[in-house]
Amino acid sequence: MLRRSLEWIALRSLTAKARSAELAAAAALSVAAATSARGGRAPILAAVIATDEPDARIYMERLFKGASAAGMGVRTVQLSATASEAEIAGALATLSADDDVAGIILQSPLPAGVDRDQVAASIAPEKDVDGLTAANAARLDAGDTSGALPATAAAVMELLRAHNITIAGRRAVVVGRSAIVGRPVAQLLRLAGASVEVVHTGTPDMGAVTREAEILVVAAGVRGLVRGEHVARGAVVIDVGIHAVGEQIYGDVDAESVAAALGPDGALSPVPGGVGPLTNAILVLQAARAAERRAGA
């Protein structure tokens, strides 16, 4: 039913497949150079996981599949879902000191009471392939995008660029202001020349702001939060949300009503198949580049 209505509207679907394949090819080249400079030893992408959530495991399996395809080794440090800050920080510090490890990922969610910023301080900044450390966040805040970027935020920008969507001079709205998605997306859009407004749980009338958006990025963590009545005709909407319900994956955007409201001149990123796969491709690429730098290749 949804597929039929989207086809009828002929809305542009901002898929990630082509760009993800290009990034995967670039990652493979970097890993090959690093491996050769290390005398044939593949660099490793490592993840610290302190949750039992099945979604986190599935996510990590997908990411590691991409890393393996690029030629990297992978390593998981599985901690309990009640691990302490000290245990998590210790695991991150051990990986930071391991010469074979080129990139480190700290999987969400973290156990209750664990402060992400506090433990992220134990990740060596040059191995911080998801832009989590204070050093990398401060660099982005200062307008420098040369370091590792928070991968999901970078994926949003890649998706816009891959589909030749003009950013400079346009009105952009970001729903959500988390440290890992909303805030860095807003900063990257600003740096790309958009005028950006951020909507969050304290915003009294979300729709009044989102209807003004020419580019709308939704990263609220609430399934189907943004509906047709919240968007302007012809806008570009990027759905960052991921909600697994059985075999299905849904976004933060109600795709059917939003597609109908956007009309044929609008564009919408699909879930699945949009920001998610591109985030993985960027993480692998950032890990591959870190490996190449580290190996002096």
Minimum CB distance to ligand NAD, residue 35 (Å): 27
Q: How far is CA 220 from CA 176, 182, 186, 215, 281, in A?
A: 5, 8, 13, 16, 22
Between 188 and 295, name the residue whose CB sits nearer to ligand NAD.
Answer: 188
Residues that bind ligand NAD (CB under 6 A): 152, 175-178, 180-182, 199-201, 203, 206, 219-222, 225, 240-242, 252, 275-276, 279
Between 34 and 241, name the residue whose CB sits nearer to ligand NAD.
Answer: 241
Minimum CB distance to ligand NAD, residue 202 (Å): 7
Strand pairing of 267-268 and 195-199?
unpaired
Between 266 and 276, name the residue whose CB sits nearer to ligand NAD.
Answer: 276
SS3 of 105, please? strand
Between 167 and 185, name the residue whose CB sits nearer to ligand NAD.
Answer: 185
SS3 of 67, please? helix
Name the helix (H) or strand (E) containing 48: strand 44-49
Name 264's Cβ contacts closer than 8 Å, sequence gap at least 6.
Answer: 9, 10, 11
Q: What is the DSSP letter of 279?
A: H
Between 42 and 137, name the residue whose CB sits nearer to ligand NAD.
Answer: 137
SS3 of 171, please? strand
Minimum CB distance to ligand NAD, residue 250 (Å): 9
Minimum CB distance to ligand NAD, residue 56 (Å): 11
Minimum CB distance to ligand NAD, residue 242 (Å): 4
Minimum CB distance to ligand NAD, residue 123 (Å): 17
CA 102 to CA 241: how far, in whole Å?
A: 28
Between 38 and 177, name the residue whose CB sits nearer to ligand NAD.
Answer: 177
Name the helix (H) or strand (E) containing 25: helix 17-37
